[in-house]
Structures are given as structure tokens and as C-alpha cells.
Structure 1
């Protein structure tokens, strides 16, 4: 798995680069194949960010990440 900084993650927002990645609890997930992350946006959330603190506002729990294999770690 890769290690990626917050600055590198920020570029994986579906706009600056084609990848659509997010971080949660220190792991990086590629959510580009999810229809819910089209163009790097999921409701009021943008890809390229650490969404750990945002989950409490979501209508789902962290099991949503079970659909995705982590591709790396946030450093």
C-alpha cells in the first residue's frame, strides 16, 4: 500500500486529477467507482479530504467503507 500526504490526497478530488480518493481513520480509499461520488462530490462532501470527523453527520455508519479496499495510508 502507498503512503500519501494530505497535500497529495487533496489532488485526488476528481477535479485536479482523475482519481477520487478519500481518507477515513488513516486509510485512503479509492471511491471513484461509486456512483455516489460522481465528479468527486458526495452530498456536501468533497473527495481529496480526510472525512473521519465528518462521519458523525452522515446517515450511515463506518460500515460503508467495507465496500472499498483501502489503497494506502494517510501520513
Structure 2
């Protein structure tokens, strides 16, 4: 992962929900990942999770660990 990532606000992340813009992004622990190519994120939804959001808290209830994000390209940092 590159140490220099572009910063995005929550509003900018929210637009990458698979509907407002073509990109499908999610954030976890301050890093934004591009999940556009994942067949599990079609139309910006993955089970009960929606793209364009910070999924840090939601991951606690997921059946997988944070290692799942290693499959995806980090595209930015979430700023608060």
C-alpha cells in the first residue's frame, strides 16, 4: 500500500456507493478500499452492508476478519 494516499471526506466516500458514481468504495480503520471489481459488492450492496460508508464498526459482526481488505486496492484515507 502506498504511504501517500489522497484524502477523502465522508461525503466524498458516500458518493462512491455504486449508484451515484461508478466506483464502489468502503472504508475500514481510516483507509478507503476500492471494491468495484468484487462480485460480492454488485450495485453497492454486500449482504446488509452498503458501500460508500465506513465499515469499521460493522466488521465486528462479520463472519470474516479484516484480512478480507488485503484483496482490495487502497485508494485513499478517510478524513473526519
| TM-score range for the pair, normalised by the shorter chain length | over 0.9
Cα RMSD (Å) of the superposition? Answer: 0.6
Secondary structure at 1:52 match in 2: coil
Runs of 4+ deviating beyond 6 Å: none
TM-score (norm 1): 0.97
TM superposition score normalised by structure 2: 0.91
Tell me the distance in 1 between the aligned counterparts of 2:73 and 2:49: 20
Unmatched runs of 5 consecutive residues or more in structure 2? none
The offset of 1:69, in angstroms, is 2.1
Classify the secondary structure of the residue corresponding to 2:19: coil
1:45 CA drift (Å): 0.4
Q: 2:9 aligns with which of 5, 22, 37?
A: 5
The gaps in structure 1 that reach 5 residues or longer are none
